[in-house]
Amino acid sequence: MKRTSLYPTAPHRTSQCNKLLAGLFSLSLLTSTVFAAEESGLWSVQTFGAKADSTTDDTAAIQKALDEAAKTGGKVRLPPARYRVTGSLHIPPGVTFEGATDSPVWSEPLKGSVVLVTGGRDNEDASALFELGHSATVRGMTVWYPEQKPDEIHPYPWTFHLQGHDNTVENVTLINSFNGIRIGPEGNVRHRIRSVYGCVLRRGIFVDSCSDIGRIENVQFHCHWWSAKEVGGDWNPVHEFMWKNLEAFIFGRTDWEYVNNTFVFPVNIGYRFIATQNGAANGQFSGTGADEAQICVKVEAIQPMGLLISNGQFVCMHGDIRVPLLVERTCHGSVRLVNCAFWGPNRQCVVSHSSSFVSLSDCYLSSSGRAQNPGVSLIEADGGKLQVRGCSFGSDEPAVALKAGLQHAIITENNGVRGVQIGNEIGEKAVIANNESANNHSVK
Protein backbone atom coordinates (compact mmCIF):
# COMPACT_ATOMS: atom_id res chain seq x y z
CA MET A 1 0.00 0.00 0.00
CA LYS A 2 1.30 3.36 -0.99
CA ARG A 3 1.74 5.61 1.95
CA THR A 4 0.24 9.11 1.54
CA SER A 5 1.92 11.93 3.39
CA LEU A 6 -0.23 14.04 5.63
CA TYR A 7 1.90 17.08 4.66
CA PRO A 8 2.28 18.76 1.26
CA THR A 9 5.42 18.26 -0.72
CA ALA A 10 8.13 20.88 -0.21
CA PRO A 11 7.31 23.08 -3.25
CA HIS A 12 3.59 23.07 -2.47
CA ARG A 13 4.26 23.82 1.17
CA THR A 14 6.54 26.75 0.28
CA SER A 15 3.92 28.29 -1.97
CA GLN A 16 1.24 28.09 0.71
CA CYS A 17 3.58 29.60 3.31
CA ASN A 18 4.46 32.49 1.01
CA LYS A 19 0.77 33.25 0.44
CA LEU A 20 0.11 33.13 4.16
CA LEU A 21 3.04 35.42 4.95
CA ALA A 22 2.01 37.88 2.26
CA GLY A 23 -1.49 38.03 3.67
CA LEU A 24 -0.22 38.57 7.19
CA PHE A 25 2.15 41.30 5.98
CA SER A 26 -0.67 43.12 4.18
CA LEU A 27 -2.88 42.89 7.25
CA SER A 28 -0.04 44.13 9.45
CA LEU A 29 0.62 47.04 7.11
CA LEU A 30 -3.06 48.00 7.08
CA THR A 31 -3.35 47.68 10.84
CA SER A 32 -0.21 49.74 11.50
CA THR A 33 -1.40 52.44 9.11
CA VAL A 34 -4.78 52.66 10.81
CA PHE A 35 -3.16 52.57 14.21
CA ALA A 36 -0.70 55.32 13.28
CA ALA A 37 -3.46 57.64 12.11
CA GLU A 38 -5.65 56.95 15.14
CA GLU A 39 -2.81 57.09 17.63
CA SER A 40 -0.97 60.20 16.55
CA GLY A 41 -3.20 62.42 14.45
CA LEU A 42 -0.09 63.92 12.86
CA TRP A 43 0.35 65.79 9.61
CA SER A 44 3.65 67.13 8.27
CA VAL A 45 3.76 70.35 6.28
CA GLN A 46 6.24 68.71 3.91
CA THR A 47 3.64 66.11 2.98
CA PHE A 48 1.48 68.98 1.69
CA GLY A 49 4.23 70.48 -0.44
CA ALA A 50 6.27 72.73 1.84
CA LYS A 51 9.75 73.01 0.28
CA ALA A 52 11.57 74.24 3.40
CA ASP A 53 14.38 75.74 1.31
CA SER A 54 14.29 79.31 2.72
CA THR A 55 13.28 80.85 -0.64
CA THR A 56 10.05 79.13 -1.79
CA ASP A 57 6.87 80.61 -0.33
CA ASP A 58 5.52 77.83 1.90
CA THR A 59 2.45 79.75 3.15
CA ALA A 60 -0.12 77.84 1.06
CA ALA A 61 1.37 74.41 1.77
CA ILE A 62 1.44 75.01 5.52
CA GLN A 63 -2.14 76.31 5.51
CA LYS A 64 -3.27 73.26 3.54
CA ALA A 65 -1.84 71.00 6.26
CA LEU A 66 -3.50 73.06 8.99
CA ASP A 67 -6.86 72.90 7.20
CA GLU A 68 -6.59 69.13 6.81
CA ALA A 69 -5.85 68.74 10.53
CA ALA A 70 -8.87 70.92 11.31
CA LYS A 71 -11.23 68.19 10.04
CA THR A 72 -10.58 66.03 13.09
CA GLY A 73 -8.21 68.04 15.27
CA GLY A 74 -4.60 67.06 15.83
CA LYS A 75 -1.02 68.19 15.26
CA VAL A 76 0.68 69.69 12.24
CA ARG A 77 4.42 69.13 12.42
CA LEU A 78 7.02 71.63 11.22
CA PRO A 79 10.17 69.48 10.82
CA PRO A 80 13.55 71.15 11.43
CA ALA A 81 14.24 73.44 8.45
CA ARG A 82 13.69 77.02 7.31
CA TYR A 83 10.25 77.88 5.91
CA ARG A 84 9.56 81.13 4.11
CA VAL A 85 6.10 82.58 4.84
CA THR A 86 4.88 85.67 3.01
CA GLY A 87 1.30 85.71 4.28
CA SER A 88 -0.78 84.93 7.35
CA LEU A 89 -1.43 81.46 8.80
CA HIS A 90 -4.78 80.62 10.43
CA ILE A 91 -4.53 77.96 13.15
CA PRO A 92 -7.99 76.29 13.21
CA PRO A 93 -9.81 75.27 16.41
CA GLY A 94 -8.38 72.16 18.05
CA VAL A 95 -5.18 72.21 15.97
CA THR A 96 -1.63 72.33 17.33
CA PHE A 97 1.09 73.69 15.04
CA GLU A 98 4.30 72.22 16.44
CA GLY A 99 7.98 72.64 15.64
CA ALA A 100 10.88 70.55 16.85
CA THR A 101 12.27 72.86 19.55
CA ASP A 102 11.45 72.31 23.21
CA SER A 103 13.34 75.34 24.52
CA PRO A 104 14.30 78.83 23.35
CA VAL A 105 17.22 78.98 20.90
CA TRP A 106 19.94 81.51 21.61
CA SER A 107 23.52 81.12 20.34
CA GLU A 108 22.62 79.56 16.97
CA PRO A 109 19.05 80.82 16.56
CA LEU A 110 18.39 79.37 13.09
CA LYS A 111 18.58 75.74 14.22
CA GLY A 112 15.36 73.78 14.61
CA SER A 113 12.02 74.73 13.06
CA VAL A 114 12.39 78.29 11.76
CA VAL A 115 9.75 80.49 10.10
CA LEU A 116 11.20 83.25 7.89
CA VAL A 117 8.61 86.05 7.70
CA THR A 118 8.58 88.57 4.86
CA GLY A 119 4.93 89.69 4.75
CA GLY A 120 3.43 92.84 6.24
CA ARG A 121 6.42 95.16 6.10
CA ASP A 122 5.41 98.77 6.96
CA ASN A 123 1.83 97.70 7.72
CA GLU A 124 1.21 97.10 11.42
CA ASP A 125 -2.53 96.66 10.79
CA ALA A 126 -2.14 93.67 8.47
CA SER A 127 -3.11 90.18 9.68
CA ALA A 128 -0.72 88.56 12.13
CA LEU A 129 1.69 85.85 11.06
CA PHE A 130 -0.27 83.41 13.27
CA GLU A 131 -4.00 83.97 13.78
CA LEU A 132 -5.25 81.72 16.61
CA GLY A 133 -8.87 81.06 17.50
CA HIS A 134 -10.50 78.68 20.00
CA SER A 135 -8.24 75.94 21.41
CA ALA A 136 -5.44 76.59 18.91
CA THR A 137 -1.76 76.13 19.81
CA VAL A 138 1.60 77.15 18.36
CA ARG A 139 4.72 75.74 20.00
CA GLY A 140 8.32 74.72 19.50
CA MET A 141 9.55 77.07 16.76
CA THR A 142 11.59 80.18 16.01
CA VAL A 143 10.36 83.24 14.11
CA TRP A 144 12.74 85.53 12.20
CA TYR A 145 12.09 88.55 9.98
CA PRO A 146 15.12 88.36 7.66
CA GLU A 147 14.42 91.68 5.91
CA GLN A 148 14.38 93.59 9.22
CA LYS A 149 17.79 95.24 9.74
CA PRO A 150 19.21 96.54 13.06
CA ASP A 151 20.14 99.92 11.61
CA GLU A 152 16.90 100.34 9.60
CA ILE A 153 13.96 99.07 11.64
CA HIS A 154 10.54 98.95 9.94
CA PRO A 155 7.07 98.31 11.38
CA TYR A 156 5.51 94.85 10.93
CA PRO A 157 2.18 93.41 12.07
CA TRP A 158 1.84 91.21 15.15
CA THR A 159 3.57 87.85 15.08
CA PHE A 160 0.69 86.30 17.05
CA HIS A 161 -2.96 87.34 17.37
CA LEU A 162 -5.13 85.37 19.81
CA GLN A 163 -8.90 85.49 20.20
CA GLY A 164 -11.49 83.09 21.54
CA HIS A 165 -11.10 80.51 24.30
CA ASP A 166 -8.13 78.47 25.50
CA ASN A 167 -5.39 79.22 23.00
CA THR A 168 -1.70 78.64 23.70
CA VAL A 169 1.70 79.91 22.59
CA GLU A 170 4.70 78.19 24.16
CA ASN A 171 8.38 77.34 23.63
CA VAL A 172 8.69 80.00 20.96
CA THR A 173 11.73 82.16 20.13
CA LEU A 174 11.17 85.58 18.58
CA ILE A 175 14.41 86.79 17.02
CA ASN A 176 13.27 90.27 16.01
CA SER A 177 9.50 90.74 16.05
CA PHE A 178 8.35 94.35 15.79
CA ASN A 179 5.08 93.45 17.55
CA GLY A 180 5.04 90.17 19.47
CA ILE A 181 1.75 88.76 20.82
CA ARG A 182 -1.64 90.48 20.67
CA ILE A 183 -4.50 89.05 22.74
CA GLY A 184 -7.80 90.73 21.80
CA PRO A 185 -9.38 93.21 21.31
CA GLU A 186 -11.85 90.45 20.39
CA GLY A 187 -13.22 88.54 23.37
CA ASN A 188 -10.91 85.87 24.80
CA VAL A 189 -10.72 83.53 27.77
CA ARG A 190 -7.89 81.58 29.43
CA HIS A 191 -5.01 82.37 27.07
CA ARG A 192 -1.71 80.65 27.95
CA ILE A 193 1.63 82.24 27.00
CA ARG A 194 4.53 80.13 28.25
CA SER A 195 8.29 80.11 27.71
CA VAL A 196 8.40 82.77 25.02
CA TYR A 197 11.85 84.32 24.67
CA GLY A 198 13.54 86.71 22.29
CA CYS A 199 13.76 90.25 21.00
CA VAL A 200 10.69 92.42 20.44
CA LEU A 201 11.07 95.97 19.23
CA ARG A 202 7.91 98.04 19.67
CA ARG A 203 5.41 95.96 21.68
CA GLY A 204 5.92 92.63 23.39
CA ILE A 205 2.59 91.32 24.71
CA PHE A 206 -0.68 93.30 24.62
CA VAL A 207 -3.68 91.83 26.47
CA ASP A 208 -7.21 93.21 26.08
CA SER A 209 -10.81 92.00 26.43
CA CYS A 210 -9.96 88.88 28.47
CA SER A 211 -12.95 88.08 30.65
CA ASP A 212 -11.51 85.14 32.54
CA ILE A 213 -8.08 84.34 33.95
CA GLY A 214 -5.27 84.64 31.43
CA ARG A 215 -1.82 83.15 32.11
CA ILE A 216 1.59 84.53 31.09
CA GLU A 217 4.58 82.57 32.41
CA ASN A 218 8.34 82.45 31.82
CA VAL A 219 8.65 85.23 29.26
CA GLN A 220 11.90 87.13 28.65
CA PHE A 221 12.48 89.89 26.12
CA HIS A 222 16.10 90.85 25.52
CA CYS A 223 18.09 92.50 22.74
CA HIS A 224 20.63 89.62 22.86
CA TRP A 225 18.53 87.40 20.63
CA TRP A 226 19.03 89.69 17.67
CA SER A 227 22.74 90.24 18.27
CA ALA A 228 23.82 86.81 16.96
CA LYS A 229 26.02 87.00 13.85
CA GLU A 230 23.96 84.29 12.14
CA VAL A 231 20.98 86.64 11.88
CA GLY A 232 22.98 89.77 11.10
CA GLY A 233 22.36 91.25 14.51
CA ASP A 234 24.12 94.24 16.03
CA TRP A 235 23.87 95.04 19.70
CA ASN A 236 24.10 98.83 19.71
CA PRO A 237 21.29 100.05 17.39
CA VAL A 238 18.88 97.37 18.66
CA HIS A 239 19.61 98.24 22.28
CA GLU A 240 18.98 101.94 21.62
CA PHE A 241 15.77 101.34 19.67
CA MET A 242 14.36 99.19 22.47
CA TRP A 243 14.97 101.60 25.34
CA LYS A 244 13.52 104.44 23.29
CA ASN A 245 10.48 102.60 21.88
CA LEU A 246 9.61 99.25 23.43
CA GLU A 247 6.54 98.75 25.61
CA ALA A 248 7.09 95.18 26.71
CA PHE A 249 3.90 94.15 28.55
CA ILE A 250 0.69 96.15 28.00
CA PHE A 251 -2.56 95.34 29.80
CA GLY A 252 -5.96 96.75 28.91
CA ARG A 253 -9.10 94.93 30.05
CA THR A 254 -8.24 91.60 31.59
CA ASP A 255 -9.82 89.88 34.60
CA TRP A 256 -7.66 87.83 36.93
CA GLU A 257 -4.52 87.97 34.82
CA TYR A 258 -1.72 85.87 36.35
CA VAL A 259 1.79 86.86 35.24
CA ASN A 260 4.82 84.99 36.60
CA ASN A 261 8.57 85.10 35.94
CA THR A 262 8.79 87.81 33.29
CA PHE A 263 11.69 90.11 32.39
CA VAL A 264 12.69 92.73 29.85
CA PHE A 265 15.99 94.46 28.96
CA PRO A 266 16.19 97.24 27.80
CA VAL A 267 12.84 99.00 27.54
CA ASN A 268 10.98 102.29 27.38
CA ILE A 269 8.04 101.10 29.54
CA GLY A 270 8.30 97.63 31.04
CA TYR A 271 4.71 97.07 32.24
CA ARG A 272 1.98 99.48 31.17
CA PHE A 273 -1.59 99.35 32.49
CA ILE A 274 -4.15 101.28 30.45
CA ALA A 275 -7.90 101.62 29.92
CA THR A 276 -9.24 100.60 26.52
CA GLN A 277 -12.84 100.77 25.36
CA ASN A 278 -13.19 97.32 26.97
CA GLY A 279 -11.97 98.48 30.38
CA ALA A 280 -8.89 98.03 32.59
CA ALA A 281 -7.06 95.14 34.26
CA ASN A 282 -6.79 93.41 37.56
CA GLY A 283 -4.16 90.79 38.22
CA GLN A 284 -1.34 89.21 40.15
CA PHE A 285 2.27 89.68 39.03
CA SER A 286 5.11 87.70 40.65
CA GLY A 287 8.79 87.46 39.79
CA THR A 288 8.57 90.58 37.64
CA GLY A 289 11.64 92.37 36.28
CA ALA A 290 12.60 95.33 34.09
CA ASP A 291 16.14 96.59 33.57
CA GLU A 292 17.58 99.58 31.69
CA ALA A 293 14.16 101.18 31.51
CA GLN A 294 12.80 104.70 31.30
CA ILE A 295 9.76 103.59 33.35
CA CYS A 296 9.50 100.04 34.70
CA VAL A 297 5.81 100.05 35.72
CA LYS A 298 3.35 102.71 34.55
CA VAL A 299 -0.21 102.53 35.87
CA GLU A 300 -2.60 104.74 33.94
CA ALA A 301 -5.70 102.75 34.85
CA ILE A 302 -6.55 99.65 36.87
CA GLN A 303 -9.74 98.04 38.17
CA PRO A 304 -10.75 99.02 41.75
CA MET A 305 -9.50 95.74 43.29
CA GLY A 306 -6.37 96.47 41.34
CA LEU A 307 -2.85 95.32 40.85
CA LEU A 308 -0.74 93.01 43.05
CA ILE A 309 3.03 92.91 42.40
CA SER A 310 5.35 90.71 44.46
CA ASN A 311 9.05 89.87 44.19
CA GLY A 312 9.72 92.48 41.52
CA GLN A 313 13.08 94.03 40.58
CA PHE A 314 13.14 97.39 38.81
CA VAL A 315 15.98 99.53 37.43
CA CYS A 316 15.75 102.71 35.34
CA MET A 317 18.79 103.95 33.42
CA HIS A 318 17.54 106.02 30.48
CA GLY A 319 15.59 109.20 29.78
CA ASP A 320 14.74 112.17 31.97
CA ILE A 321 11.98 110.54 34.04
CA ARG A 322 13.77 107.39 35.30
CA VAL A 323 11.01 106.35 37.72
CA PRO A 324 10.51 102.59 38.18
CA LEU A 325 6.90 102.95 39.42
CA LEU A 326 4.76 105.79 38.10
CA VAL A 327 1.06 105.92 39.04
CA GLU A 328 -0.96 108.49 37.11
CA ARG A 329 -3.94 110.57 38.28
CA THR A 330 -6.17 108.56 35.96
CA CYS A 331 -5.62 105.50 38.17
CA HIS A 332 -8.70 104.90 40.33
CA GLY A 333 -7.78 101.40 41.56
CA SER A 334 -5.48 99.90 44.19
CA VAL A 335 -1.77 99.35 43.46
CA ARG A 336 0.12 97.18 45.94
CA LEU A 337 3.76 96.05 45.90
CA VAL A 338 5.32 93.52 48.30
CA ASN A 339 8.98 92.45 48.58
CA CYS A 340 10.14 94.44 45.55
CA ALA A 341 13.55 96.00 44.97
CA PHE A 342 14.43 99.29 43.25
CA TRP A 343 18.04 100.17 42.49
CA GLY A 344 20.35 101.69 39.89
CA PRO A 345 20.44 105.31 38.66
CA ASN A 346 16.74 105.94 39.22
CA ARG A 347 15.82 109.59 39.59
CA GLN A 348 13.15 108.47 42.06
CA CYS A 349 11.80 105.01 42.86
CA VAL A 350 8.06 105.65 43.22
CA VAL A 351 5.99 108.64 42.12
CA SER A 352 2.25 108.46 42.77
CA HIS A 353 -0.37 110.87 41.53
CA SER A 354 -3.00 108.19 42.18
CA SER A 355 -6.64 108.90 42.93
CA SER A 356 -6.82 105.66 44.97
CA PHE A 357 -4.56 103.45 47.12
CA VAL A 358 -0.83 102.83 46.70
CA SER A 359 0.94 100.51 49.13
CA LEU A 360 4.57 99.37 49.48
CA SER A 361 5.48 96.68 52.00
CA ASP A 362 8.86 95.06 52.72
CA CYS A 363 10.52 96.71 49.74
CA TYR A 364 14.10 97.89 49.16
CA LEU A 365 14.55 101.32 47.55
CA SER A 366 17.76 103.03 46.49
CA SER A 367 19.31 105.19 43.81
CA SER A 368 22.82 105.69 42.49
CA GLY A 369 21.74 108.96 40.82
CA ARG A 370 21.81 111.15 43.93
CA ALA A 371 24.51 113.52 42.64
CA GLN A 372 22.25 114.51 39.75
CA ASN A 373 19.12 114.81 41.91
CA PRO A 374 20.04 116.25 45.31
CA GLY A 375 17.18 116.51 47.76
CA VAL A 376 14.69 114.49 45.66
CA SER A 377 12.85 111.85 47.71
CA LEU A 378 12.86 108.18 46.68
CA ILE A 379 9.08 108.01 47.20
CA GLU A 380 6.83 110.95 46.38
CA ALA A 381 3.03 111.12 46.44
CA ASP A 382 0.60 113.97 45.82
CA GLY A 383 -2.70 112.14 45.37
CA GLY A 384 -4.82 109.34 46.78
CA LYS A 385 -3.73 107.42 49.86
CA LEU A 386 -0.24 106.03 50.53
CA GLN A 387 1.10 103.27 52.79
CA VAL A 388 4.83 102.56 53.23
CA ARG A 389 5.51 99.86 55.80
CA GLY A 390 8.54 97.77 56.69
CA CYS A 391 10.70 99.09 53.83
CA SER A 392 14.46 99.69 53.69
CA PHE A 393 16.04 102.72 52.04
CA GLY A 394 19.46 101.80 50.71
CA SER A 395 20.79 105.24 49.75
CA ASP A 396 20.87 108.49 51.68
CA GLU A 397 18.33 110.57 49.74
CA PRO A 398 15.26 111.74 51.61
CA ALA A 399 13.03 108.68 51.86
CA VAL A 400 9.45 109.89 51.49
CA ALA A 401 7.84 113.17 50.39
CA LEU A 402 4.17 113.57 51.34
CA LYS A 403 3.07 116.36 49.02
CA ALA A 404 0.04 118.61 49.07
CA GLY A 405 -2.90 116.85 47.47
CA LEU A 406 -2.20 113.52 49.18
CA GLN A 407 -5.36 112.54 51.08
CA HIS A 408 -3.78 110.30 53.73
CA ALA A 409 -0.54 108.45 54.48
CA ILE A 410 0.74 105.73 56.81
CA ILE A 411 4.56 105.60 57.07
CA THR A 412 5.65 103.05 59.68
CA GLU A 413 8.43 100.66 60.67
CA ASN A 414 10.90 101.62 57.94
CA ASN A 415 14.69 101.91 58.16
CA GLY A 416 17.57 103.15 56.02
CA VAL A 417 21.32 103.60 55.68
CA ARG A 418 20.95 107.00 57.34
CA GLY A 419 17.57 106.50 58.87
CA VAL A 420 14.31 107.55 57.24
CA GLN A 421 13.89 111.20 56.31
CA ILE A 422 10.25 112.15 55.72
CA GLY A 423 8.95 115.39 54.31
CA ASN A 424 5.38 115.97 55.46
CA GLU A 425 3.19 118.60 53.76
CA ILE A 426 -0.15 117.10 54.79
CA GLY A 427 0.19 117.44 58.57
CA GLU A 428 -2.19 115.34 60.67
CA LYS A 429 -3.39 113.43 57.64
CA ALA A 430 -0.15 111.45 57.96
CA VAL A 431 0.47 108.66 60.48
CA ILE A 432 4.25 108.51 60.97
CA ALA A 433 5.57 106.06 63.58
CA ASN A 434 8.34 103.65 64.52
CA ASN A 435 10.72 104.62 61.69
CA GLU A 436 14.48 104.72 62.13
CA SER A 437 15.43 108.29 62.84
CA ALA A 438 17.38 110.29 60.25
CA ASN A 439 20.20 111.93 62.23
CA ASN A 440 18.22 111.13 65.35
CA HIS A 441 15.04 112.87 64.14
CA SER A 442 12.50 112.80 61.34
CA VAL A 443 11.94 115.93 59.33
CA LYS A 444 8.26 116.93 59.52
Residues of the chain with CATH 2.160.20: 39-245, 259-444
pLDDT of residue 261: 98
Q: CATH topology for 39-245?
A: Pectate Lyase C-like (2.160.20)
| pLDDT(301) > 60 | yes
Q: Which of 130, 147, 151 shows the shortest CA–CA distance to 231?
A: 147
pLDDT in tens, 321-332: 999 999 999 999
In CATH terms, 259-444 corresponds, of 3.40.640, 2.160.20, 3.30.200, 3.40.390, to 2.160.20
The per-residue pLDDT of the chain, averaged, comes to 90
In sequence order, what are the beta bridge partners of 352?
Answer: 327, 381
| pLDDT(35) > 80 | no
- 96 or 229, higher pLDDT: 96
| pLDDT(300) > 90 | yes
pLDDT of residue 369: 63
| pLDDT(422) > 80 | yes
pLDDT in tens, 165-176: 999 999 999 999
177, 202 contact by CB (below 8 A): no
pLDDT of residue 5: 37
pTM value is 0.90
- 238 or 396, higher pLDDT: 238
pLDDT in tens, 178-207: 999 999 999 999 999 999 999 999 999 999
